[in-house]
Amino acid sequence: MAILMRLFRAGAPAWLALWAGALSAAPLRVGVTLHPYYSFAANIVGDRAEIVPLIDAGNNPHNYTPQPDDMKRVMSMDVLIVNGIGHDEWAFAIVEAAGRKDELPLIYANDGVSLIPIAADEGQAKVVNPHTFVSTTAAIQQVYTIAKALGEIDAANADYYRDNARAYAASIRRLKAEFAAELADVDAASFRCATMHGAYGYLMQEFGLQVVAVIEPRHGVEPTARQLADTIEKIKAADVNVLFAEKYFASKLADTIKEATGVEMYSFSHMSDGEYTPDLFEREMRANLATLARAMRAAAASR
């Protein structure tokens, strides 16, 4: 559709203009860069738009290297939903390589989300935590942002998208409320955690919890021996008793840290693997919340 619209603006023949007009009635093709955005978009658009993942399922979005098929997919998109704060920088390279930098509308899912600042590698400026999708509160904000932007692009379905967004947001709120009620009587005073990845700050923040230490300095990069030793000392000094490792990309370092510190280890989902499905976000978030509840109860019982 984007190619035809360029031809139309350039003064294409009448028959091509009519063809482009006929195609404009086709469902919107909504591109997404990450698995949670597939879930968000699918629940918003229902059967009135097609969701197109920019990269194939099974690829690790951390430090992803663009492939030729990615450019083919981006050429077919009417709009692309992006993280835009550090988790999908490769998407912008794909869009530019495909020659669509100035014409493909981008929806920045994190517009309106309160971001958590973090320190980058030594010598670099401060950045923000891009893992806003591992959170119920931030996810709801993103759902509303995406629905509003899609409604502006596809005005005929704007009310439908808005109503679906409200229903989906209510479902996510119920999920959080379920676990908030379950944890209401759990004493969190003894809960002190470290993580193998910086993805879980927003989730912890929702329940008034803090991450004492993050083991992995950057996406997919294991810490140096010195960084690991410093982290182990920090864990010991802070009396950390819980370590969260990634469900799909857990490192052998988790065992090393457990042996050195005696912390209990649990696994979280980063929501960046497996097939793209409408229920992935709620399914994986439910598993993460159940894991968090189990860890908090165990920490409270060990006092």
Pick the closest to residue 241 from 288, 197, 209 (CA basis): 209
At which residue do the structure tokens 């990634």 appear? 246
Strand duo 117-118 + 127-128: pairing:
antiparallel
* Cβ count within 10 A of residue 178: 14
pLDDT band, residue 143 (cuts 50/70/90): very high
Of residues 136 and 230, more confidence is placed in: 136
pLDDT number for residue 181? 93
Write the pLDDT tens digit of every residue in 182-217.
888 898 888 999 888 888 999 999 999 988 888 776
Residues 6+ apart with CB under 8 A from 250: 196, 267
Residues 6+ apart with CB under 8 A from 227: 217
**86 Rama sector, left if φ>0, alpha if ψ -120 to 50, beta otherwise:** left
Architecture of 2-177 per CATH? 3-Layer(aba) Sandwich (3.40)
pLDDT number for residue 239? 86
Where, residue-wise, is CATH 3.40.50.1980 in the chain? 2-177, 185-301
pLDDT number for residue 124? 54
Task: Judge: domain 185-301, CATH 3.40.50.1980.
Answer: yes
Measured in whole angstroms, how far is the alpha carbon of residue 142 from the centre of its chain? 10
Write the pLDDT tens digit of every residue in 99-129.
999 999 999 999 999 999 886 554 455 589 9
C-alpha distances in Å from residue 195, one per residue of 23, 85, 134:
49, 21, 14
The percent of residues above 70 in pLDDT, for the chain, comes to: 86
Beta-bridge partner residues of 82:
108
pLDDT number for residue 217? 64
C-alpha distances in Å from residue 121, one per residue of 126, 234, 247:
9, 17, 24
pLDDT number for residue 213? 84
Write the pLDDT tens digit of every residue in 72-82.
999 999 999 99
Is the distance from CB of 298 to CB of 264 less than 8 angstroms?
yes
With b for 16 or more beta-carbon neighbours within 10 A and e for fewer, the 214-225 pattern comes to: bbbbebeeebee
Average pLDDT (239-249) is 81
Mean pLDDT of the chain: 87
pLDDT number for residue 125? 54
Average pLDDT (227-251) is 81
Alpha-carbon span 125 to 94, nearest angstrom: 25
